[in-house]
Structure formats: C-alpha cells, structure tokens
Amino acid sequence: MRRLLHALALGSLMLAATPVFAREAGPVTHSMTERGNVKIEALSQGSGPTIVILPSLGRSGEDYDAVSRMLAEDGFRVLRPQPRGIGRSQGPMEGLNMHDLAADVASVIEHEKAGPAVVVGHAFGNFVARQIAADRPDLVKGVVVAAASAGKVPPGSTEKPIGPEMRKAIDGPSDPSLPEEKRLEYLRIAFFAPGNDPRVWLGGWNEAVHHMESHARNHTPVDDYFAAGSAPILDLQAEHDPVAPRRFAGVLKSLLGDRVTIVVIPNASHALVPEQPSAVAREIAKFSRNLDAK
C-alpha cells in the first residue's frame, strides 16, 4: 500500500510538471489579404483570443511554428502575417517606412476580424508591433516585444543602440555570398547563446526583405513607434542578447513606466524563439490571459 501511495503521489507530481493544453492545435491554414497593390499571406492556427506574431529581420513567420502550436494548444488563435517578399506576400519593396509595414499587418487583423489582438514582435518585428499599436490602437490590446531593441538608449548614454560591429554581425547571416563558417560566426556573435546551435538559422533568410525592412526602420523616426501608443507591453528580454543588451533593454520601462512588464528568458540570445520556444509561449500566454482578466 505504501508503494502504491508513493507511485500515485509521484504520478501526480509528474502531471503537475507537464503543461496541460486546452485543445489540439489543429492545422495551419493560409489566407490572403489584399490592400491596393499589396497582398499579404497569413498563417493561422487554433481558435480563441488572437495573438499576432511578427518575425525578425528578413525572416519568415514559419520561424514560429513551435510557439504557434503551443499557443494554439493553449487555447489561442495565432496569426502570422508574412512580410512582403516572403511566401505569397507581395507589394512594392522600395521606399517603405514602418507605417507601411504596420498597415500591412493591420489589414490582416481587420480582414480576419481578429482585433483587438495581442501583437508579438520578435527582434525587428517589435518595431512593427509598436507601430501598429501607435497607428491603430483599436486593433491592439497589448504588445509583446521579444529580444527587442528599444530604438533608444537610457538618458545620458552616448552609445548607439546598435554599434557598427554588431550591425555587421546582424546583417552577415543573410548574405549568401559569405562562406557558411563566416555566417555561423555571425550567428554565434549576434543571435545564439553559448551552447545553443546556430545552424537552425543558417537557412530562412531573405536578403531583399532584409534590405526592405532595414530601409523602413532607417526612414522612420523612432518616436513614431517607440511608445506603442498606450498599449500594455511585455518586454521579453533574452539573458545573453548582445543586440538588445540588458543594460539598454530596460529603457522601455524607464521611459514608459508601469505599463511595461519585464521578463528575462534564461539561456537565450537574440534569436530567442528557436532557443527557448516553451518559455516564450508560456510568457506570451500568461500576458494575454492577464489582459483578458482585466
């Protein structure tokens, strides 16, 4: 009997340590939204309150397959609009600014009747997420910035948010002319924490989209998107992120105050999502549920 009770107790502990998901994730479906001469493809999965995920610089929403599945299993609908130039998304690629990219995503949220949604922006995607919240607050109930450069440094600092050497490491992996080992070196420098495998991001880069998004960022005043309107913000910081180092990462909270909540994800760098997908999904879900409970 004592052994039986011990086994039952051990089983209960194991169940408690295992995530219990609300439902099956279901298949990923694809839809198209047209806005003038722009067509945006969106990946959709699950049902429930909507979470929109926006990818890193020059990359695809498919980077978030694992996180999207976890969130769908946890009772959310996940939308992943593809940037122009990726998948079936298309439109002019020259002379854009952050307002243009935000409008692409806003059109998907409207088309899918998914607002107000929680909008998650990973790395570069955080600029787009904050721009949507500033331009279309009716479509956004909260913003998650993940491994995010704030675009500003703390008051009194003379450093640039991203220096020239780090910029080289950020841009290098998307350059197909570079040898694989050099690209891996840049991935280790800028994107992956020690011990984490950078090879998972050797593929999936789109050089044209990288240039398009970089131009948009460089031709939009930071203050256009910095504050994310008045939306609540979850700042998911990666413990070992050299692109958005933690000495800078608190600038959102220092300037925006209590509507910013900071959570640090251990054993992760700027790539974050392929390094710690479960932790990222858990914190996004927690933030989303807290918003719905208010």
Give Rg (Cα) of the chain: 19
CB 192 within 8 A of CB 275: yes
Render pLDDT for 142-201 as a digit per residue (tens, 0 to 9).
999 999 988 887 777 766 667 788 889 999 999 999 999 999 999 999 999 999 999 999
Global pTM value:
0.89
Over residues 223-280, the pLDDT tens digits come to 999 999 999 999 999 999 998 877 666 789 989 999 999 999 999 999 999 999 999 9
Contact 32, 40 (CB under 8 A): yes
Q: At CA 120, angle to CA 197 and CA 123, rounded to 5?
A: 45
Q: CB-based contacts of 43: which residues, under 8 Å, 6+ apart?
A: 28, 29, 30, 61, 62, 68, 78, 79, 80, 82
The H or E element that residue 45 is part of is strand 38-45
For 128-144, the DSSP string reads HHHHHHHH-GGGEEEEE
pLDDT, one tens digit per residue, over 31-51 is 999 999 999 999 999 999 999
CA angle 219, 121, 255 (to 5 degrees): 75
Looking up tokens 């050797």, which residue turns up? 202
Whether the bond between 245 and the residue before it is cis, its omega within 30 degrees of 0, is no
Alpha-carbon span 50 to 65, nearest angstrom: 16
CB count within 10 Å of CB 153 equals 16
